[in-house]
Amino acid sequence: MNAKKASESRIVNTAQVLSCDLNNYNTLFGGILMKKLDDAATLSARRHSRVKECVTASTDSIDFLYPIHQTDSVCVESFVTYTGKTSMEIFCKVIAEDIGTGERRVAATAFLTFVALDENKKPVPVPGVIPETEEEKFLYETAKERAEIRKLRRKKSKELAAYISLEKPWDK
């Protein structure tokens, strides 16, 4: 399976911020941004793996750096930064642009992991990644450390799950 350039998986989606997207602070709801990130990352994963279905294995982090206002456009850019055998790390950046002034800022960043599935819902191998730009190279070179942290966090989450009660609080 031939490796693919990171740019081949790039998805760019720009939208205006509508009043119905705002929270009580008059900034973009975090949940709406999270959906935009997941949507873009899903397309990047599918574009890279060329399979019908990719599922979110984890959302490692979403760092909200600056608020996004109704006067902004919001641009979500995503691409595959690193792959394992069947998994793909996707980096997303959110650029907010004040439409009136043209001032741009990185409003958020996120890392998500997806797994490519076959028609029987079983993981399938994915191509490697060829980074080209400085940004892509930096993300590629730092991905193994994030993968180790992800693996440890997943182990800890499973340990925690063993202690979590399945009883309904109202049945006690």
pLDDT digits (tens, 9 = 90+) for 131-140: 999 999 999 9
Across 17-21, 118-122, 168-172, least confident range: 168-172
In this structure, is residue 32 part of a structural domain? yes
Q: Supply the pLDDT for residue 166.
A: 86
Q: Which residues pair with 13 in a beta bridge?
A: 76
User: What is the end-to-end Cα distance of the chain in Å, rounded?
Assistant: 54
In this structure, is residue 31 part of a structural domain? yes
Residues comprising the chain, all counted: 172
Domain range enclosing 151: 4-163
In this structure, is residue 29 part of a structural domain? yes
Q: What is the pLDDT of residues 77-111, one digit of tens each?
A: 999 999 999 999 999 999 999 999 999 999 999 99
In this structure, is residue 35 part of a structural domain? yes
Number of domains composing the chain = 1
In this structure, is residue 172 part of a structural domain? no
Q: Could you tell me the CATH number of the domain that includes residue 120?
A: 3.10.129.10
Task: Report the C-alpha gap between 28 and 21 in whole angstroms.
Answer: 6
Q: 170 or 145: which carries more pLDDT confidence?
A: 145
Instruction: Tokens 């949507």: give the residue.
Output: 39
Q: Is the pLDDT of residue 62 over 90?
A: yes
Q: Is the pLDDT of residue 63 over 90?
A: yes
In this structure, is residue 171 part of a structural domain? no
> 107 and 66 in contact (C-beta within 8 Å)?
yes
Supply the mean pLDDT for the chain: 95
In this structure, is residue 169 part of a structural domain? no
Q: Supply the pLDDT for residue 46.
A: 96
* pTM given for the model: 0.91
Q: Which two structure tokens, joined as six digits, stand for 125?
A: 């191998």
In this structure, is residue 134 part of a structural domain? yes
> 112 and 48 in contact (C-beta within 8 Å)?
no
